[in-house]
Structure formats: C-alpha cells, structure tokens
Amino acid sequence: MQGCEVGTRVRYWLTLASGMLECLCFAGVVFGYASLVFVLKEDGYFGELCINHPSINSNCSRQDEQFSLVFTIASFLNNLLNLINGFLFDRFGTMVTRLLAISCYTTGTLLVAFSSAASALLLFPALSCIAVGGIVLLLTNMQVGNLFAAHRSTIITLYNGAFDSSSAVFLIVKVLYEQGISLRSSFLFLSISSVIHVLRTFLLMPRTHIPYLLPQCYTYGVHCGKANTYNVEQVEKLGAGAMTVSQETPTPEDSTETKDTEKVTSFWSCVLSWFFLWHLLWLSIMQLRHYLFIGMLNPKLNRLADSDPQLVSQYTNAFAVTQLFGVLCAPWNGLIMDRHKGKPLAAGKSPTQEADLRSSCLSLFLTSLQCLLFSVCASIPVLPLQYLTFILQVLNRSFLYGGNAAFISIAFPSCHFGKLYGLVMSLSAIISLLQYPCFALVEGALDGNHFYVDIALTLLTLLVFIHPIYIFIHCRNEASRRKNNTQAGHP
C-alpha cells in the first residue's frame, strides 16, 4: 500500500509540473499578439494595403485594421466556444477533448508556419485555431487541482496565471526573428511540440475526469500492474455522502437551513438573477478593455513613438516581458479572498454562502479598481507612462479571470458551474466584438487618435463597480435580516 501511495504521488506531481509547463509555454500564446504583429509587418503581411513603405513597421491604417480584425475574431472564438468546449469535456472526457484541442492547435501553428505575405488571409483561421486549442488545454488542466485537495484553488489560479504568462512566447518568436530565425522555423517547432501534448494526454492525464475527493490510490494514464478504475460521478456522490455522515447531528435551526439548501436553484433562475447579470457586465466591460488595448497596442505605440521602429520594438518587448509575471500575480487574488474569508464572522451571519460572498467583495472591488487605474494610464498619451500601463494590465488581467471562476463557484450551485462558466464567457465574447468598430473608428474618423475612445472606455469602466457594491449591499441586508430573525427567536 505504501508503494502504491508513493507511485501515485509521484504521478500527481509529474502531472502538476507538466501541466504548468503546458499552460506556460503553449496555452495562451495568442494574447502575445502584439509581438507577433511586429514580425508579421516586417514580413509584409497585408502590406499590399499600404500605399507607401509596405514592408516596414510604420503607421498604415488599413493594414492595422486587418491585424486588429484577426485578433478580434480569434479572441471572440476563444470565448464563444467555451460553452461547446465545456459540453465536450463533460460529455466525452479528458482524452477525447484534449486530442481535439491538440489537433486544432497544431493546425493553427502549421497554418502560420506555411503562410506568407501572399497568403496573409491564412492568419484568420490560424490564430483562431491556436486560441481555441489553447483555451481547451487550460480547461482540461484545471482539474489537476483535484489531485491536491488542500491546495485546489491555488493550483487552479496558478494555471490561469501560467496561461496569461504564455503570451510572452510570441516575444521569444520576435527576438529569434531579429536574430535571424524565420517565423516559419519558430512555428514549425511549436507544431512539433504537439507530440509532447499527445504523450502527456496518454501518460499523465485521465481518460475521463479527475474526481474531487480522490479514492485511495487513485491512478490514471498508462501504468504497470492492475489499476483502480472509478466512475467519477459515483465517486463524487460517495464522497459527498461520506461528508454528510461525518457531520454532527443538526439542530432544528440547521435542519431548516439544510432543507432550504436542498432546493437547488434552477439553471435559468441563475441566469436571470442579478448576480449573473451584474457579473456578466463586470466581466464583459473589463475584457473588452483588455482586448482593445492588446489589439490596438502596435498602432498606438507607432503613433506615440513617431513610427520609430526601435522604440516600438523596445516597448513591445517590455509589454511582452510583463506578461511573464502573470503567473506570479494570479495567486494574489486567491490569497486575498482566503485571508478575508478567514476572518471570524459576527453573530447572526451565515457561515456558508454569505461568508463566501462577503469574501468575494474585496476581490471584485480590487479588480474593478485595477481596471480603472489601468484604463486611466492607457488613456494618457505619454510614451514612458506605458510601462506603468503594462504592469497594471497584467495585474488586472490575472485578477480578472481567476475572480470570474471563483465568483461563479461561490454564488451559484456547483451542478451549474460548467454551464454558467461557459455561458458567461460566450456572452462576454459577443460584447468583445465591439473592439473592431472601435478600432475602425480610431483609424477612420479619429485619424489614428486613440484618446477619445480611451476616455469613453474609462468612463464605461466605472460601471464595473456596480457588481461589488451590489454584492456588499446584498450581504449586509442578509446579515441584518438574519440578525433580526435571531433576536426575534426565529431560525
């Protein structure tokens, strides 16, 4: 038995480490698009749209518009297909979903590798395939947190941070290009690396899902000897039953509360609730702000640097380097939530969902404040200030997506988590389509001046504070009602 435990623990740690590398080096590379655009311009992609100097990194509104459209479509599909990806993952399990994701990702990298300035339209399907394949790799990796129950949230947050940091991979592609390594060589290497993903799928990942509350000596992948096989749903039900049996005998007050919690809220009741609607607004506005910033970064830097290619390259590199720190920023949000939630509750306050909701208020508020500061800095047309903008951007983006998943898991029944997560990401993707008309407005009527659009987005960002304020007022009202009921002698 001891040998079994040692073997499974080693496998768990290998799965954790390899998943971290997979997310860090491959999953979210599409968000390093600003670095890739610099290389693509040097190679003359969409250069025929420019009348003068089609081959150098300079302002060309029609060329920039095409690059912006490529990123708009890729980021849109990255979120829109989350609902379908979640269904595939729940229905067919890890192995099938990952093999589809790897095929999609490899198709995208091969399309970029064999594209050229003459076939620049291949960038549209290529970047979309890379984006969709990468997000599915992250989705299948987040279950690895179930292998380490005591650190489950920390691991999920770290994986999301690694996903953010992987955008720096395109910086490496850019640096290699400047050293003489062609774009085709770099993307062929990424394509060949898919072999590692396939091997990991068979050796270090389960065929179906990793259950929460692991059975003893739970194992997966290719192995020697006889393995324990489990039905995930049955394991989770047995685990939940064991937890229920181990609880103390409930008091009459607890019995009433238990009966209330047994009435699980329906999916559509969750979707039509103010919690979901304000959360959708919160996520959509901040996500739109980030997508617009990334999509318009290259032409914005060109304008601020007076089209100096060396300065543009310097600031593009600085932006990409800051993305590396996403993996370090992401866990801060979880630590803030855990520390705040750990404070003792006053008399009359619910020890369950209300406490979790109260713990999310600080996280939601800080994320909103970060986005406002980031948007203000991005609006000021001073080139050196963009260094601070880059720092605020990676910090806010790291908080945003971890906080999104955490709030959904807290505010709604766990049986609806996958569907609600996929739905909120899909709906926010539709809002993100506004980035293209915004870019067209900047390059057209505003003649490349981002200032007015940035100011409008900063004012729009003020709406995200409604969400944490609403949660705070809701928790305060619930605490007041519970306290009044306790004083009146009611459960």
Domains and their CATH numbers in the chain: 11-51+58-210+270-482 (1.20.1250.20)
Our measurement of the distance from residue 481's CA atom to the centroid of its chain's CA atoms, rounded to an integer in Å, reads: 36
Q: Walk along the chain (491 residues) in steps of 10 and give the mean pLDDT of each run.
A: 68 91 91 87 86 54 84 85 81 90 96 93 94 90 81 77 86 91 94 94 89 77 52 47 35 40 70 91 93 84 86 86 82 70 49 69 91 93 92 90 78 72 85 82 78 90 93 85 70 50
Among 335, 366, 404, residue whose Cα is nearest residue 164: 404
Q: Please, which residues have CB within 8 angstroms of residue 229's CB and are 6 or more apart in sequence?
A: none
The residue type at 71: F
Residue 15 pLDDT: 92
Exposure string of 308-337, with b = 16+ CB inside 10 Å and e = fewer, is: eeeebbebbbebbebbbbbbebbbbbbebb
CA distances in angstroms from 68 to 175, 298, 350, 367, 443, listed in the order given: 22, 10, 48, 26, 11
Residue 56 pLDDT: 47
Query: Hey, CA dihedral for 364, 366, 369, 370, is it positive or negative?
Result: negative
Residue 227 pLDDT: 44
Residue at token pair 């100096």: 308
Alpha carbon distance, N-terminus to C-terminus of the chain: 48
Note the pTM of the prediction, 2 decimals. Answer: 0.74
Residue 313 pLDDT: 85
Please tell me what DSSP assigns to residue 266. Answer: P
Residue 54 pLDDT: 46
Residue 278 pLDDT: 94
Q: Please, which residues have CB within 8 angstroms of residue 430's CB and are 6 or more apart in sequence?
A: 76, 80
